Amino acid sequence: MSAAPAAGLIGIYGHGAVHLRELERLSVAGRARVVACADVRAPAGEQAEALGRLGCRYFADWREMLRPAPAGAGPLDMVVIASPPHLHTDMAVAAMEAGAHVLLEKPPVVTLGDFEQLLGAMARTGAACQVGFQSTGSGALGRVRQVLAKAELGDLVSFGVTGRWQRDRAYWTRAGWAGRAVLGGAQVRDGALSNPFAHASMNCLVAAGVAEPGSQLAGVEVERYRANPIEVEDTGCVRVSLASGRAFVVAVTLCAEVVERPVLRIRGAGGQAGWPYEGDTVSIESGQRSWTETFARRSLAAELLDLIDGRSSTLSCPLEHCATFVQLIEAVHAAPVCEVPGRWVGSAGAGVAERPVLAGIDAAVDAAVRQCRLFSELGVPWAVAAPGEVGKPEK
């Protein structure tokens, strides 16, 4: 019997810890040999214990990890990349050139130029690249897509994602790249729309059937706001117009009054559906009936291993399916970031747990998606289409 594919991981803390657990699960199942990992921060605690169990070699420099053995760990069959987004392209290209297939965290790239560079590396090396939009592995997304495609709830009234999270000072100060547009001359493009809620837009694009190669968006309108002292948006909305004449709105905030998990919502003339996309259950109301449907979720890492083993050639989120997502990200970052005047911003928590609370944001997020409108079109007082036009506070 041939040995299981050799896997390496770049980034073992932060979201990388989730990948380390999944790789250990796959190792125990005999699906992968987790032979190497790289991080600028040395393994400690749970990470050190997991690496010990796996017999996994640690590298402080990810380039060393990709070097052919004995100097490095290579050859690796699969490299999982969970580093900050602005490092993705160099790491992924190098991993492909070292002969590995890649599981690349979202957002896969931060610019269109990087996207083209990665596609070029794939064509040159024959490598596959799966992108870490994990909800694309959920059967719930296929169901939502079916609801839209077949107009199961009657004529479409609106669809999109609402997202209401709270993030405190500790979040924005956890890493040098957090909240940055540019860092050391490199485009970082963090921000609620392009990073924590990237899944929201990607899920809508897939649900609308416009994530396949060759798809184009007819238009992207963007509003970006910030209540935190950061370079990007902590609150924003985007309306995406499709060639079909349909449109969707993603409206999100990290300064919520009350937290609510992100939900992909569909409203039709005859009912509505909702998918909290971190899970796998879709709720549907049609006429007088309401019910839920629960689906399985495929592991993105296991899918890539299946492809390497020749068991399957299907990936839930191949990089080629991210062209319209990258188009959307380019539009987001071309829009100005408007600072919300302090009179609309409350505060909760203290010290590193302190966080801004944006007045009226919860209702605005919900209304934007329900009405397919941008915040400024809803008459939200702090919302303006361009900087410097913020409305006056009500007395």
Ligand X SMILES: NC(=O)c1ccc[n+]([C@@H]2O[C@H](COP(=O)([O-])OP(=O)(O)OC[C@H]3O[C@@H](n4cnc5c(N)ncnc54)[C@H](O)[C@@H]3O)[C@@H](O)[C@H]2O)c1
CA-to-CA distance for 279 and 297, rounded, in angstroms?
9
Sole binder of ligand X in the list 5, 11, 274, 356 (CB under 6 A): 11
Does the footprint of ligand X cover residue 22 (CB under 6 A)? no
Min. distance of Cβ 58 from ligand X in angstroms? 11
User: Applying CB under 6 A, does 325 fall inside the site for ligand X?
Assistant: no
Which ranges of the chain does DSSP label H, i.e. alpha helix? 16-28, 45-54, 62-66, 88-97, 112-125, 139-149, 169-172, 198-207, 300-309, 323-334, 361-371
x/- map, 214-243, ligand X, by CB under 6 A = ------------------------------
Binding mask 174-193 for ligand X (x = CB under 6 A): xx------------------
Question: Which is nearer to ligand X, 19 or 101 (by Cβ)?
Answer: 19
- Residues in the interface with ligand X (CB under 6 A) total 24
CB 211 within 8 A of CB 321: yes
Spatial separation of the C-alpha atoms in residues 34 and 54, rounded to whole Å:
6
The nearest distance, CB 392 to ligand X, in angstroms, is 37
Cis before 107? omega within 30: yes
Q: 297, exposed or middle or buried, with CB in 10 Å at 0-12, 13-18, 19+? A: middle
Among 7, 62, 200, 302, the residue binding ligand X under the rule CB under 6 A is 62
Residue 126: strand, helix, or coil? coil
Binding status of residue 132 toward ligand X by CB under 6 A: yes
Placement of tokens 């994990």 in the chain: 134
* Near ligand X by CB under 6 A: residue from 29, 40, 69, 363: 40
Tokens 């493009």 identify what position?
A: 189
Residue 114 binding ligand X, by CB under 6 A: no
106 lies in the binding site for ligand X (CB under 6 A)? yes
80 versus 255: smaller Cβ distance to ligand X: 80
Residue 361 tokens read as 């944001």
252 counts as binding ligand X under rule CB under 6 A: no
Binding segment for ligand X (CB under 6 A), chosen from 12-20, 110-118, 329-337, 379-387, is: 12-20
Supply 363's token pair. 């209702």
Q: Does residue number 89 form part of the binding site for ligand X (CB under 6 A)?
A: no
38 sits near ligand X (criterion: CB under 6 A): yes
* Spatial separation of the C-alpha atoms in residues 79 and 66, rounded to whole Å: 9
Distances (CA, A) of 299 to 13, 29, 221: 20, 13, 33
Site string for ligand X, 368-387 (x = CB under 6 A): --------------------
Rule CB under 6 A: say whether 82 interacts with ligand X: yes
According to DSSP, the residues that pair with 37 across neighbouring strands are 9, 58
What's the closest the beta carbon of residue 320 comes to ligand X, in angstroms? Answer: 19
* Nearer residue to ligand X within complex by CB, 268 or 318: 318
Residue whose C-alpha is closest to residue 228's, from 334, 328, 337: 337
From candidates 21, 29, 41, 389, binder to ligand X by CB under 6 A: 41
Which CB sits closer to ligand X, 14 or 341?
Answer: 14
Q: Which stretch binds ligand X (CB under 6 A): 82-90, 236-244, 362-370, 385-393?
A: 82-90
Q: How many CB atoms lie within 10 A of CB 79?
A: 31
- CA–CA dist 383, 376 (Å, integer): 5
Name the residues that contact ligand X, by CB under 6 A: 10-16, 38-41, 62, 82-85, 87, 105-106, 132, 134, 174-175, 195
